[in-house]
């Protein structure tokens, strides 16, 4: 019997509350199949770890530490923003990958990321054909942006959506209490540079039983200042207050991000980031209402303390499925979430060829956004609702979540010389 | 037997995650003593409700709704920012209060607020002497600023502290994952215009078992840009990243809030709010590191989903104690938290005369802040630690907390004519 090949696992791009749950699924499942998969080596700081032969030996972590990944946000092995280009432009990098894979007897490549990573993963899956190195590459989906095609949703998104929905709910209750003599408009800025999936989740805070005066600003809808002010004013006149959920990707009619449209520091430099203060200023100047604003930034995607149980379960299941696909001999595929029914929500794991995933962006359908452009439709609600369902609290000690930090022991280097990134 | 007098309860100033838990304590305890206390009327939007005879009949709420107040953030009856001045300047308002109290047979006044409210409560407690109207006034402490004297801590603070500590923890894990190729400095802005209690809570995220590179900027410490940049740079060089927790009240050496020190909109107007973007800009200009920033704003004080169990319990206990003090015939007092032991943390309820509470601000002791001004001491940690301890999750439905909205039925008006605020 031949010695089983080792696996390489890496986290790519912005991290999430549940990407480590996928890592947990990959590693726990691989450990159950040591006849087929040897050790799981993780890339320190993502694919950079492979390029620089900076590998982490996950086999030195006890089962309890790996299990704790399921409830630990962020990327336990480090992630990176580093895009491999096509084989022609980045041939040296692909050759280096092969050199490292060969040196460490790696036959499986698990890449946990979004659209760009799917593209890289596809290219790695073709190394057998293109550069003669046999490897199976499986992509594990992850992105808070929820913009991967085919899969019903992307791990990481459900937990951000839950955070945004409950933050919108809680802040709206706060403003409702204060509006008689103080704050009347609250503005919450959320992520989503290209798509309004995350902003849409704010709409879940308002339900039939508990209607809230909300205005959502989507990147898909050109910002119309007069229409926006009229809507805010009407809601404040009717309810006494309103909450605005603004996507960081909202643009002015001239195509600029609204966050870059106004603020300057004392030296006249454009102040990047901050759609919320710009919107709050527009409200103040246009209507004179007292406002407050918040920018959730990393808090939203790191909020494992308020993660969606559905999201955690799916993230883990996709990690597990990736290994199972590898064991079945698959290559160039991504396990996906298949929605079976909306209510009760049921789902299963399917698979998609990477060629249909790479570089395809799933936009938010126009019929998920209300006609006036300021809210979500019932169709959108039906889609989003199950994704935030269920709580999966991390264990706490002394008042804080007990997140794990792995030892992250290095695999001894086998290759002489440095690789220049 | 004479008919028992009714009680008036009002919420004052900024609301919190647990002020309704105090309301719950007041109302549930009063309901158990209907031989002494008749109905509990709440002021709609705080003391304004008394002045305008806009009273809410809490007796029309079922026990289940009152019980749900314990897990509902914000001010269920509405709050207000409205300060009554001294008897001389505001005689008409105090006379109006008496008019309304008389009309509704109110003999107990429960005022749930911070320092200003304690002062108002004290003045109401003296109405028997000053204006001949017999009433017992009890103050129920509440403030996220944690600046009331005598009491060991203030309800509302522990939950904000927990939110800030866990947000700092989660965001730091996130940045640690990204720092190799992307964000190296994360800046979180928290509340605290005058005192650094809330910012200090960020320090709890770093523990002996899990040390994090943190810089805390307190309003008590004059901002020294060069020293700050040197500290950030050293931490980034050592750990690869760092997190900065900045209090909104941090001031430059010339005494201006740092949030007001730089940003202008396109028309040159000062952009209020936003210490975080200013600090982030300083990091970018001074060190060139990639940064992200967040402003928690209302999210921190409304975050009932992540409330401290200690805080919830104390908020409820203080509401209950206020009623018990009234039943004992006390006047012009405030129930307080007395810390018995640090570890294990034990506490009891004591009481303080309002004359010693009103207009006294508890500052953060200098020995709670590290010598270099950028962190907390062990003494501070010992104080803060138990206040964030324990979780008290609200019930969830469809992925969101089930916060209650009361019917808030009005008590029929008895006085002709309007009172002009």
Residue B295 has pLDDT above 80, yes or no: yes
Residue in A400, A403, A404 to test binding to B, most B beta-carbons within 10 Å: A400
Per-residue pLDDT averaged across A111-128, rounded? 94
Question: pLDDT digits over A212-230, tens only?
Answer: 999 999 999 999 999 999 9
Residues of B with a known catalytic role:
145
A chain contacts of residue B242, beta-carbon cutoff 8 Å:
none
What percent of chain A is modeled with pLDDT above 90?
Answer: 88
Mutate to test the interface with A, among B400, B406, B407, B408 (most CBs of A within 10 A): B400
SS3 state of residue B177: helix
- For chain B, what is the mean pLDDT? 95
Place of tokens 């004992």: B328
Question: What was the pLDDT predicted at B392?
Answer: 98
pLDDT of residue B29: 98
Q: Which of A174, A271, A298 sits opposite B302 (nearest CB)?
A: A174
Nearest to B264 among A80, A186, A264 (CB): A264
pLDDT in tens, A400-417: 999 999 999 999 999 998
The bridge status of strand B291-295 relative to strand B214-217 is unpaired
d(CA B176, CA B184): 8
- For the stretch A268-279, what's the b/e string if a residue is b when 16 or more beta carbons lie within 10 angstroms of its beta carbon? eeebebbbbbbb
- Minimal CA separation from A403 to chain B, in Å: 9
Q: Would you say A360 and A154 are in contact if contact means Cβ atoms under 8 Å apart?
A: no
Say what the pLDDT of residue A226 is: 97
Least Cα separation, residue A188 to chain B (angstroms): 9
Burial string for B387-411 (b: 16+ CB within 10 Å, else e) reads: bbbbbbebebeebbbebbebeeeeb
pLDDT confidence band for A313 (50 / 70 / 90): very high
Q: Is B403 close to A181, i.e. CB distance below 8 A?
A: no
* CB-count burial class (<10 Å; 0-12, 13-18, 19+) for B99: middle
Q: Is a pLDDT exceeding 90 seen at residue A302?
A: yes
- By CB atoms closer than 10 A (0-12, 13-18, 19+), residue A398 is middle
pLDDT at A247 over 60: yes
Give B-chain residues touching A398 at CB under 8 angstroms. 207, 385, 388-389
B299–A295 C-beta distance less than 8 A:
no
Taking CA–CA distances from A281, the nearest residue in chain B reads B271
A82–B181: do the CB atoms touch at under 8 Å?
Answer: yes
A277–B276: do the CB atoms touch at under 8 Å? no
Percent of chain B with pLDDT over 90: 88
Asked if A261's CB is within 8 angstroms of B178's CB, the reply is no
Q: Please list, in sequence order, all residues whose beta carbon lies within 8 angstroms of the beta carbon of residue A268, skipping any fewer than 6 positions away.
A: none
C-alpha distance from A3 to closest chain B C-alpha (Å): 33
Q: Which of B207, B298, B385 sits opposite A186 (nearest CB)?
A: B298
Known catalytic membership, residue A145: yes
Q: Average the pLDDT over B309-330 and give the result.
A: 98
Q: Please list every residue in chain B whose beta carbon sits closer than 8 Å to the beta carbon of residue A261.
A: 266
| CA–CA separation, A369 and A376 (whole Å) | 5
Size of the A and B interface in Cβ pairs below 8 Å: 249
Residue of chain B nearest A49, judged by CA positions: B180
Minimum CA–CA partner of B82 in chain A: A181
- In B52-156, which ranges are continuous DSSP H helix? 63-68, 91-103, 115-125, 127-131
How near does any CA of chain B get to the CA of A139, in Å? 20
Q: How far is A210 from chain B (nearest CA, A)?
A: 8
pLDDT at B273 over 80: no
Interchain proximity B80–A180, CB inside 8 Å = yes
B235 burial type by CB count under 10 A (0-12 exposed, 13-18 middle, 19+ buried): buried
Nearest to B180 among A80, A269, A271 (CB): A80
The nearest CA of chain B is from the CA of A106 a distance in Å of 24
What's B364's DSSP letter?
Answer: P
Q: B157 pLDDT exceeds 90?
A: yes
**Tens of pLDDT along A29-46?**
999 999 999 999 999 999
- Chain A residues whose CB is inside 8 A of the B20 CB are none
Contact list, B282 vs chain A (CB under 8 Å): none
- pLDDT tier, A193 (very low <50, low <70, confident <90, very high otherwise): confident
Q: Is B259 helix (H, G, I), strand (E, B) or coil?
A: helix
For residue A176, the chain B residue with the least C-alpha distance is B78
Q: Which of B296, B299, B398 sits opposite A389 (nearest CB)?
A: B398
Q: Which two tokens stand for residue A34?
A: 């040591």
The predicted-structure confidence for B160-192, as pLDDT tens digits, reads as follows: 999 999 999 999 999 999 999 999 999 999 999
Active-site choice (A54, A57, A119, A145): A145
Give the residue carrying structure tokens 């060629």: A355
Q: pTM of the full predicted structure?
A: 0.97
pLDDT given at position B104: 98
CB contact under 8 A, A298 and B78: no
Chain segment B353-394, per-residue pLDDT in tens: 999 998 898 989 999 999 999 999 999 999 999 999 999 999
CB-based contact A321:A342 (threshold 8 Å): no
**Is A204's CB within 8 Å of B399's CB?**
yes
Chain B nearest CA to A178, separation (Å): 6
Does the pLDDT at position B1 exceed 70? no
Yes or no, beta carbons of A171 and B299 under 8 Å apart: yes
User: Stretch B199-225: mean pLDDT, rounded?
Assistant: 96
pLDDT band of residue A234 (cuts 50, 70, 90) is: very high
Using CB atoms, pick whichever of A74, A169, A178 lies closest to residue B174.
A74
Compute the nearest-CA separation of A387 from chain B (Å): 8
Under 8 Å between Cβ of A378 and A56: no
Q: Do residue A180 and residue B388 have CB atoms under 8 angstroms apart?
A: no
- What percentage of chain B has pLDDT greater than the value 70? 97
Q: Identify the band that residue B2 occupies on the pLDDT scale cut at 50, 70 and 90.
A: confident
**pLDDT over 50 (residue A266):** no
Contact B298 A171 (CB under 8 A): yes
The beta-carbon neighbor of A174 closest among B73, B391, B400 is B73
- Among all residues of chain A, which has the CA nearest to that of B204? A400
pLDDT band at A263 (very low <50, low <70, confident <90, very high): low
CB contact under 8 A, B173 and A78: no
- B271 to chain A: which residues are within 8 Å by CB? 263, 277, 281
Q: Is the pLDDT of residue A267 over 60?
A: no
Chain-chain contact of A261 with B266 (C-beta, under 8 angstroms):
yes
Please report the pLDDT score of residue A2 as a whole number: 80
């Amino acid at each position: 019997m031949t010695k089983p090949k080792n696996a390489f696992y890496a986290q790519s791009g912005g991290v999430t509350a549940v990407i480590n749950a996928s890592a947990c699924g990959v590693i726990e499942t691989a450990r159950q199949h040591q006849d087929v998969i040897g050790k799981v080596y993780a890339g320190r700081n993502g694919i950079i770890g492979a390029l620089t032969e900076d590998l982490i030996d996950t086999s030195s972590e006890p089962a309890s530490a790996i299990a704790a990944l399921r409830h630990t946000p962020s990327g336990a092995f480090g992630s990176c923003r580093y895009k491999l280009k096509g084989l022609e432009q980045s041939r040296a990098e692909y050759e280096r990958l092969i050199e490292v894979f060969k040196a460490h007897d790696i036959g499986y490549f698990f890449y946990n990321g979004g659209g760009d990573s799917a593209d890289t993963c596809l290219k790695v899956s073709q190394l057998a054909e293109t550069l003669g190195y046999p490897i199976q590459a499986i992509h594990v989906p992850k992105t808070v942006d929820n913009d991967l095609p085919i899969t019903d949703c992307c791990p990481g998104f459900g937990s951000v959506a839950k955070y945004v929905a409950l933050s919108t709910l809680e802040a709206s209750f706060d403003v409702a209490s204060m509006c008689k003599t103080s704050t009347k408009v609250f503005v919450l800025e959320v992520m989503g540079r290209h798509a309004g999936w995350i902003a849409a989740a704010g709409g879940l805070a308002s339900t039939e039983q508990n209607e809230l005066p909300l205005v959502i600003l989507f990147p898909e809808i050109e910002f119309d200042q007069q229409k926006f002010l009229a809507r805010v004013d009407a809601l404040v006149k009717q309810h006494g207050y309103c909450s605005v959920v603004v996507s960081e990707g909202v643009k002015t009619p001239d195509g600029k991000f609204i966050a870059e449209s106004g603020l300057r520091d004392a030296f006249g430099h454009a102040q990047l980031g901050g759609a919320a203060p710009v919107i709050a200023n527009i409200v103040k100047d246009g209507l004179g209402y007292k406002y407050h604003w918040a920018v959730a930034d990393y808090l939203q995607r790191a909020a494992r303390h308020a993660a969606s149980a559905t999201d955690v379960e799916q993230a883990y299941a996709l990690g597990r499925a990736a290994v199972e696909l590898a064991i079945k001999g698959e290559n160039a595929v991504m396990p996906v979430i298949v929605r079976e029914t909306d209510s009760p929500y049921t789902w299963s794991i399917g698979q998609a060829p990477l060629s249909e995933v790479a570089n395809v962006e799933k936009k938010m359908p126009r019929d998920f956004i209300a006609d006036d452009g300021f809210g979500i439709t019932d169709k959108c609600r039906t889609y989003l609702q199950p994704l935030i369902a269920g709580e999966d609290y991390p264990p706490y000690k002394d008042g804080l979540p007990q997140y794990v930090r792995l030892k992250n022991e290095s695999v001894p280097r086998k290759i002489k010389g440095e690789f220049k990134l």
